[in-house]
Amino acid sequence: MRNYYRALGSDASLVILFSVLGTLSHNGALTFANLARVAWPFLVGLILAHLVLRAWRVEPWRLWPHGVFIVAITVVAAMLIRTLIGDGTALPFVLVSFGVNALFLLGWRAITGLVVRRKPVGVGTDTPR
Per DSSP, the residues of 50-111 read: HHHTTGGGS-TT-IIIIIHHHHHHHHHHHHHHHHHTT----HHHHHHHHHHHHHHHHHHHHH
Phi, psi torsion values for 7, nearest 5 degrees: -65, -45
Q: Please, which pLDDT band fits residue 121 given cuts at 50, 70 and 90?
A: low
Query: For 105-116, what is the mean pLDDT?
Result: 93
Which pLDDT does position 124 carry in this prediction? Answer: 52
Give me the pLDDT at residue 54, please. Answer: 94
In order, the DSSP letters of 12-34 are HHHHHHHHHHHHHHTT----HHH
Residue ranges per structural domain of the chain: 2-117
Q: What is the pLDDT of residues 55-92, one digit of tens each?
A: 999 888 899 999 999 999 999 999 999 999 999 899 99
CA distances from 127 to 37, 115, 116, 119 (A): 52, 20, 18, 15
pLDDT, tens digit, 9 for 90 and up, residues 10-63: 999 999 999 999 999 988 889 999 999 999 999 999 999 999 999 999 888 899
d(CA 47, CA 60): 14
| DSSP 8-state assignment for residue 11 | H
Mean pLDDT, residues 99-116 taken together: 95
pTM listed for this prediction: 0.88
Confidence of residue 127 (pLDDT cuts 50, 70, 90): very low
Helix (H) or strand (E) holding 48: helix 32-52
C-alpha to C-alpha distance for 102 and 87, rounded to whole angstroms:
21
